[in-house]
Chains A and B, each alone.
Chain A
Amino acid sequence: MENLRPNSANPKADLNYRRKKNAEEMRYQVVSFALMIFLTLIAFAVVHFEGFSHWFVAPFIMLLAVVQVIFQLYYFMHMSHKGHETPQLFLFSGLSVALITVLTFVTITWI
């Protein structure tokens, strides 16, 4: 705990820096939020539009979902910040184990 305290007695020492950082952070969040709503609208539109086959629509929506998950993790859950290396490692190794298992089922064992 000791080393987490600011090393200056002046509480406003890095206030300007933090204010700038927060504004930047907020901008990213608003942009990604707008993008996520936009992606959701696209997903609805694709389903609604009758010209596309199911073989296009389903994977496309899944792709959009993956993009949304990435936005969620990196901008809303702050995984883009420093100090998240271990959660990332576990997230991605868990993901890779799960995906390889799924891949095995759909390619070689067929249940």
Chain B
Amino acid sequence: MSTYAHKKGFGATIWDYLTTVDHKKIGILYLMAGGFFFLVGGLEALFIRVQLAVPNNDFVSAGLYNEILTMHGTTMIFLAAMPLIFAFMNAAVPLQIGARDVAFPFLNSLGFWLFFFGGVFLNCSWFLGGAPDAGWTSYASLTMEAHTHGVDFYILGLQISGIGTLIGGINFLVTIVNMRAPGMTYMRMPLFTWSSFVTSALILFAFPALTVGLFLLMFDRLFGANFFDVAAGGNTIIWEHLFWIFGHPEVYILILPAFGIFSEIFATFSRKRLFGYSSMVFATVLIGFLGFMVWAHHMFTVGMGPIANAIFAVATMAIAVPTGIKIFNWLFTMWGGNIKFTTPMLYAVAFIPSFVAGGVTGIMNAVAAADYQYHDSYFVVAHFHYVIVGGVVLALLAGTHYYWPKMFGTLLNETLGKITFWLFLIGFHLTFFIQHFLGLMGMPRRVFTYLPNQGWETGNLISSIGAFFMGIAVIILLINVVMTQVKNVRVGNDPWGDGRSLEWAIPSPPPFYNFKQLPLVRGLDPFWIEKMEGKTEMTPAEPLGDIHMPNPSFLPVTISFGLFVAAFGALYHVDGKDWALPVLFVGMGITLISMLLRSVKDDHGFHIHKEDFENEDKGGRA
């Protein structure tokens, strides 16, 4: 087995990515698929803003608007933000803990393909009779009344991609628990790894609630059950509870890795140890824990009564405490630091005021009595876009710039990066700041148009202009990516010059086995410690030995594709189509036979022999 990368043809590269179980390549797959869905969701956002730019607009019809709005939310949360988070987790976490791969490389690939086919299935709805139109929350009182198959696409698509996410989360838990390099104790893990760890635990505990909710809804819609049918003794509020028991932790699943990415960036570009590392860890865990006890703050106006509302209001406000700890720690990390304003650092600095603004409106929403005014108004839209765009999306853009060299071996153009940053930041505030006031002036969310002379015209126009700033910013980012990859100027191990954690001690992109010898970790920011002692690489923790690697496999694609096919069968079965049941069985057959193949075929992987490394060191080709 050669340790050198060979130039490959186009078809071979495609096949390589279809069958890969390497966490770095799966990270790239997540980045590309998530990036694609981010563009789709962004396009939907632009359609929304075009429609709302002027009163009485007829750019899209009311029904189509509902579909666009639903798909914008669903795509951005489930198909863009989640996979992009997973992209960086895959790209960075195994390197940061000094592992050669994740614990279950096959499952890692399976998780990606399940997400991908689930996302494709959901978006097939556009071409097959209409997309889901019940909002991304898909409240049962709306979905039970939906007469197109849109909602069924939502149910089955999210169910499939949800399995993928759950698999990914468990995989990272096992990886971080078991595969840390010698000396890498829990309290020496970089903060991005810590937040990935807590996020994975949240996925483990929160996604089952969504799975159960979708399962009940699937049985109601497709197989004649009555869980949410009030006329038959069901209860639609159960869906709201199940959805938000999942949905609120989901918000933290997204924001915690964002916090992690920013923690890395702040420490790196302030050239200082992260201030209050242990309190950061504590705050991360506490946010994760509290995230499970606040779901009903999305339901203040449901009529749960004053006691429930009061308790959930107080619990919600409590989350401001650990979040505040984090904000101050970031500020103190910068304090007295030797700051370099690179593109990622600009995102990080801009993130603090943007996210704090979102947090403050969050506390306002948490006041149950006041929430009766804000509920279902544009104030809420402004709030959650401030936390999701001002927190998660800024982190994803920052992470793209920060980890690009480690993922692709090239450095994105800094000038174009800064132009993207400024356009995006200005566009973001233009779009969403004014929406607070539109909400307070009474504009309800999820309306497809509005009448003139209510004082909403200027605000909406400004908001729409801002959206196009963000659109242009993303286009410039794409140009930047293409230009950088075409120029293909390779960078060294530590392109930012101030890397602190293990991933910057190895080549960019790392060889497929990551570490020739597992590194010895002597403290927090292990690479920084070695650099301060004048070394250029990590001290190895083991002698050079054979490395055991997993074999690539095509089965994850077929397992996921089978479910994709089966979902069409399940969806059209309810129409009484003759071909639906056979399609369902063929799809499940593909999946089950692939799983059987995986079980009966002994696949022990292969070894890279240490002699190959020794030859390589002497300049010979292995």
A-to-B contact residues, CB < 8 Å: 86, 90, 93-94, 97, 100-101, 104-105, 108-111
Selected A-B contacts with CB under 8 Å, 12 pairs: A90-B204, A93-B289, A94-B204, A97-B292, A104-B296, A108-B304, A108-B311, A109-B304, A109-B305, A110-B304, A111-B235, A111-B238
Q: Whole-angstrom distance from the CB of A109 to the nearest CB of chain B?
A: 5
Q: A44 to B404: give the CA distance in the assembly, Å.
A: 64
Q: A94-B204, A110-B304 are in contact. List 9 more A-B contacts (CB 8 A).
A: A93-B205, A94-B205, A97-B292, A100-B292, A101-B245, A104-B296, A108-B307, A109-B241, A111-B237
Are B308 and A109 within 8 A (Cβ)? yes
Q: A51 to B495: give the CA distance in the assembly, Å.
A: 78
Q: A101 to B238: give the CA distance in the assembly, Å.
A: 13
Q: Whole-angstrom distance from the CB of A81 to the nearest CB of chain B?
A: 17
Are B296 and A101 within 8 A (Cβ)? no
Are A86 and B308 within 8 A (Cβ)? no
Residues of B within 8 A of A108 (CB): 304-305, 307-308, 311
Which of A101, A105, A108 has most B Cβ within 10 Å?
Answer: A108
Q: A62 to B311: give the CA distance in the assembly, Å.
A: 29
Q: Which B residues, 168 to 195, have Cβ-Cβ distances below 8 Å to chain A?
A: 173, 177
Residues of A within 8 A of B205 (CB): 93-94, 97
Residues of A within 8 A of B311 (CB): 108
Residue of A whose beta carbon sits closest to that of B285: A93
- Check: B314 CB closer than 8 A to any chain A CB: no
Are B201 and A101 within 8 A (Cβ)? no
In this complex, the interface size class of chain B, counting residues with CB under 8 Å from chain A, is 10 to 19
Residue of A whose beta carbon sits closest to that of B249: A97
Q: A39 to B591: give the CA distance in the assembly, Å.
A: 42
Residues of A within 8 A of B293 (CB): 100, 104
Q: Whole-angstrom distance from the CB of B197 to the nearest CB of chain A?
A: 11
Q: Which B residues, 199 to 236, have Cβ-Cβ distances below 8 Å to chain A?
A: 201, 204-205, 235
Residues of A within 8 A of B204 (CB): 90, 94
Q: Whole-angstrom distance from the CB of B284 to the nearest CB of chain A?
A: 14
Residues of B within 8 A of A104 (CB): 293, 296, 308
Q: Whole-angstrom distance from the CB of B100 to the nearest CB of chain A?
A: 14
Q: Which B residues, 274 to 318, have Cβ-Cβ distances below 8 Å to chain A?
A: 289, 292-293, 296, 304-305, 307-308, 311
Are A109 and B177 within 8 A (Cβ)? no
Q: A104 to B307: give the CA distance in the assembly, Å.
A: 11
Q: Whole-angstrom distance from the CB of A104 to the nearest CB of chain B?
A: 8
| A109-B296 contact given A94-B204, A97-B205, CB 8 Å threshold | yes
Residue of B whose beta carbon sits closest to that of A94: B205
Residue of B whose beta carbon sits closest to that of A2: B542
Q: Whole-angstrom distance from the CB of B181 to the nearest CB of chain A?
A: 14
Q: A97 to B294: give the CA distance in the assembly, Å.
A: 12
Residue of B whose beta carbon sits closest to that of A98: B205
Q: Whole-angstrom distance from the CB of A103 to the nearest CB of chain B?
A: 10
Q: A100 to B237: give the CA distance in the assembly, Å.
A: 19
Are B241 and A111 within 8 A (Cβ)? yes
Q: A86 to B197: give the CA distance in the assembly, Å.
A: 13
Residues of B within 8 A of A110 (CB): 304
Q: A104 to B237: give the CA distance in the assembly, Å.
A: 15
Q: A34 to B289: give the CA distance in the assembly, Å.
A: 39
Q: A104 to B308: give the CA distance in the assembly, Å.
A: 8
Q: A90 to B176: give the CA distance in the assembly, Å.
A: 14
Which of A86, A93, A105, A109 has most B Cβ within 10 Å?
Answer: A109
Q: A105 to B204: give the CA distance in the assembly, Å.
A: 21
Q: Whole-angstrom distance from the CB of B610 to the nearest CB of chain A?
A: 15
Q: A32 to B293: give the CA distance in the assembly, Å.
A: 36
Residue of B whose beta carbon sits closest to that of A86: B177
Residues of A within 8 A of B289 (CB): 93
Q: A93 to B173: give the CA distance in the assembly, Å.
A: 14
Residues of A within 8 A of B308 (CB): 104, 108-109
Residue of B whose beta carbon sits closest to that of A108: B308
Q: Whole-angstrom distance from the CB of A108 to the nearest CB of chain B?
A: 4
Residues of B within 8 A of A100 (CB): 292-293
Q: A101 to B241: give the CA distance in the assembly, Å.
A: 10
Residue of A whose beta carbon sits closest to that of B299: A109
Residue of A whose beta carbon sits closest to that of B295: A101
Q: Which B residues, 295 to 345, have Cβ-Cβ distances below 8 Å to chain A?
A: 296, 304-305, 307-308, 311
| A101-B307 contact given A94-B204, A111-B238, CB 8 Å threshold | no
